[in-house]
Structure formats: C-alpha cells, structure tokens
Structure 1
Amino acid sequence: MDDLLQIAIDGPASAGKSTVAKLVAHQLGYVYCDTGAMYRAVTWAARKEGIKADDNAALEKMLKNLEISFKPAVDGQRVYVGHAEVTTAIRLPEIARSVSTIAAQVSVRKALTKRQQEIAANGGIVMDGRDIGTTVLPNANVKIFLVASVKERALRRYKENKAKGIVADLKQLEQEIAKRDYKDSTRAVSPLVQAVDAIKVDTTQLSIDEVVAKIMEIIQKKGKK
C-alpha cells in the first residue's frame, strides 16, 4: 500500500480498541492517536481545576489554553497535560466515571475533534475512539467497529486495574460499563454508533493477536481497491 491511509477504530469501553490500534499502527509504521486518552486528559484537568463535568462554558474556557501531548516510551506512550505526566492518573476509576459526561459537552467535542482532524490530515494514522468513523474522520479509508460483551469487557478492565494495583469490584465494573455504554450511545453530540460503512469485529472470543490479524486483513483488502 503506497498511499497513507486513515484508519478509524470505534467501539464501546474496553472493547480492546487502544491495545489493538497500537499494534496495528506499529505493523503499518503509522502514527497512533488515542482519542480516549485526550478526553481523559481533559477530565483530569477539569477535576484539578475544580470544574464540574457538565459545565460546558468553563470547559470551553479551560480548553483554550490546555495543551495535551503524547511522547513515545518503551512500554507505549506517555500522556501529558502541559508539563504534567498523567499517563497513570487518567486511568483511575474516578476519571472513568466522569469522562462520558465531559465527552458529551459540545465545547469539548468541538475542540478535540478539531485537534484530532489536524493530526490525521496527512493520513498514515490509526485513530481509535467512539465517533472516529462517523464524525472525526467520516471519509476514513478503513472503518472498524469493535464490540464485546459487557461481561467480557468488565473482566478485561478488572485485570488491567489489578495489574496496575488499582482495587476494583468486578460486578461494579460491569454496571459502570453498561451505564457508560448507555450514556455514550444516547448523548446528543456525536453518539457512539457504528458507521454504515464500518466493519464490525466481535472480540469477545478472540485473542488480541487474532483481532489484529483480522483487522490487518481488512486493511490489506481495502488498500488494494
């Protein structure tokens, strides 16, 4: 494939988007953009500033001077808000509980969508999120919609938290993920929905390597057209 493609990977929380998108980007030699981390970074900054998650006007003002950046690292990438590294902090449960409300605010959606479109402008990008194929990159060359059962996604999040030393209750995680699915799918601005031209991949019974292989096969077929 000589042309640099825009690859959009969407889906609900803990469907495996970020893990898979990183590996796909690595195989292609593309840039990876974790849009979820961007929304979590805004959530972290809002909490630090004492701004309520639904205060659209205050968030809009904060975003004008908010710098979010990514830096490569041996074990992935580091996330920064200004000069503060927030890689671990944005994955804490309190951030997860507020990020859907933050992401539903018009000012936040507008500002981050613009930044994401600028990042992807020249192609050679793998971007994951909730509305990449429908709103951020509606003309993306390849669109994937990853899904998995709530039970499986909760278990994945539980294992991730445990590995990071974060205490979590599996049943509570199931309830939180189901609640987030509802909020993400019913919000007024850029709701979570499968793009009409996206290919659905159910990851419930698949390993990470199997999901990556399936997506690479889809990309190869699209790239040849």
Structure 2
Amino acid sequence: MGALPPVIAVDGPSGVGKGMVTRWLAHELGWHRLDSGALYRILALAAQRAGIPHDQPAAVAALAPGLDIRFVGTTEADEAILVDGADWTADIRAESTGGLASHIASAEAVRAALLQRQRDFRRAPGLVADGRDMGTVVFPDARLKIFLDASAEARAERRWRQLSQAGVNAKLLDLCDEVRARDERDRKRAIAPLAPAADAIVVDSTQMKPDEVLAEVGRLLRNRGISP
C-alpha cells in the first residue's frame, strides 16, 4: 500500500481567517480542500430541516451518511456548498447555523459520524484541511500543522465588517459575545476540544493584515519543503 497523500492542517477558532488561508493554500498547491466546519453546519441544518432536535445526537448523527456534499469554487466569492445538489451556501454561512453547529459538535455520536467523512477528503495530490481538530484528531500525521488564532474582539470586528459590506445589520457587541460563547463551548468540550496540536505552529493574526498572514503561511510552507 502506497503512502497517503500529504495533509496541511489549519486549525483555530471561528472567524480567524482559516477559510482565506486554506483557499489560498489549496489554490497555490493545486490540492483538495476540506472545510470541516461546513460539515458540522450542514449536519446541524439538515437536522433542523428534518425536525430533529439537536439534543438528540444519535438521530442527528444518523443523517450524516446519507448527505451528498460537494464544495465547488476556489475563492470565497465563487465558492458554493452543494448538499444533495442544492446550493446551501448562504444558509450554511449564517451566524445562526454556526451556533447550531457548535452545539452538536460536542456530541460523541456526531463527531464519530463525521470523522470518516472528513478523512475521505484525503486524495492525491494532497489536502488542505480547515477546522478545529484537524491536526489533533482527524489528521494527526499532517505534514504541516498551523493553529491560526486572534483575539475575540478582532474576530468579531472582522465579522461585523463582512456583514456590513453584505448589507446585514449586526451589533458588534452581540457578535463579540457570540464569538466568546462559541470559543468557550469549543475549548471546554470533553471530546476533541479546540487546542493547538503539540507540534502545531501558532500564528496570532490579531495585529496582522490578510496579506501578512498569507506571507507567514507561505514562509512556513517553504520551511517544510512544500511547493506546488
């Protein structure tokens, strides 16, 4: 049996820029990309639409094998998330869906149901994986592990700017409270809590511009001898 395709794991809390980094990496390298957070959002939304309460994790998890999920597009502007052929992108990216996903992600049955689905994205020539436990649980043998971090205030402000540009009226203080609450759930859950892998490189982007973050990630890539 041949060696498994290489993986770059990019973990971190919500709103820290993992999507920007992993899209860029996947494009630069010509690798596949996994947005693991989207899988949890999809499952949470599918359960809601099926009338399954999120406090019934076994029933929620049972939906996972039957969902046909595809990611298309290479940038945030043209990316689409297709579920059973329908475009769920806007609903998946909604703040309310993120909150639902954070709740179900603490359930062992849900995480077990999605674990193999995540690993199935590992295909040649390689995979860039975006999530919270990519380097600790899903791909512990990843060739490069990056933990992207930023203060809750900085992440809330970034999200507020995104929503404002999209014409969505949101309160910065409310967004900051939501970010902190989600962080608390993710960091303190019993199963696969949000934390850097022991061999991950932490990049704090609080004071960094997007191009500075990408430049730093590019440097880490070259240091590991990874190139297109």
- Whether 1:78 aligns to 2:80 is yes
State the AA in 2 paired with 1:15. Answer: V
Q: CA-to-partner distance for each residue in 1:144-173, whole Å, 9 max, x for gaps?
A: 001101110000111122223333211011
Counterpart CA distance in 2 for 1:184 and 1:121 is 28
- After the TM superposition, which residues 1-225 of structure 1 pair with which residues of structure 2 at under 5 Å, given as runs? 5-72=6-73, 75-122=77-124, 124-223=126-225
Counterpart CA distance in 1 for 2:144 and 2:42 is 27
State the AA in 2 paired with 1:125. Answer: L
Comparing 193-202 with 99-108, greater Cα deviation is found at 99-108
Secondary structure (helix, strand or coil) at the match of 1:223 reads coil
RMSD of equivalent CA atoms? 1.7
Tell whether the 8 Å contact from 2:25 to 2:128 is kept in structure 1 after alignment.
Answer: yes
Cα distance change, pair 138–90 in 1 and its aligned pair in 2 (3 A):
same
Counterpart CA distance in 2 for 1:45 and 1:77 is 20
How far the C-alpha of 1:71 sits from its partner, in A, is 2.0
Secondary structure (helix, strand or coil) at the match of 2:71 reads strand
Q: CA-to-partner distance for each residue in 1:13-46, whole Å, 9 max, x for gaps?
A: 1111111111121112221211111111111111
Tell whether the 8 Å contact from 1:6 to 1:123 is kept in structure 2 after alignment.
Answer: no
Counterpart CA distance in 2 for 1:50 and 1:41 is 14
Tell whether the 8 Å contact from 1:7 to 1:140 is kept in structure 2 after alignment.
Answer: yes
Normalising by structure 2, report the TM-score: 0.91
Tell whether the 8 Å contact from 2:27 to 2:74 is kept in structure 1 after alignment.
Answer: no
Secondary structure (helix, strand or coil) at the match of 2:224 reads helix
Comparing 134-143 with 114-123, greater Cα deviation is found at 114-123
Counterpart CA distance in 1 for 2:61 and 2:179 is 27
State the AA in 1 paired with 2:140. Answer: P
- Fraction of identical pairs, as percent: 39
Tell whether the 8 Å contact from 2:32 to 2:121 is kept in structure 1 after alignment.
Answer: no
State the AA in 2 paired with 1:9. Answer: V
Cα distance change, pair 145–73 in 1 and its aligned pair in 2 (3 A):
closer
Q: Structure 1 unaligned runs (5+)?
A: none
Counterpart CA distance in 1 for 2:41 and 2:61 is 15
Counterpart CA distance in 1 for 2:124 and 2:107 is 28
Counterpart CA distance in 1 for 2:167 and 2:86 is 21
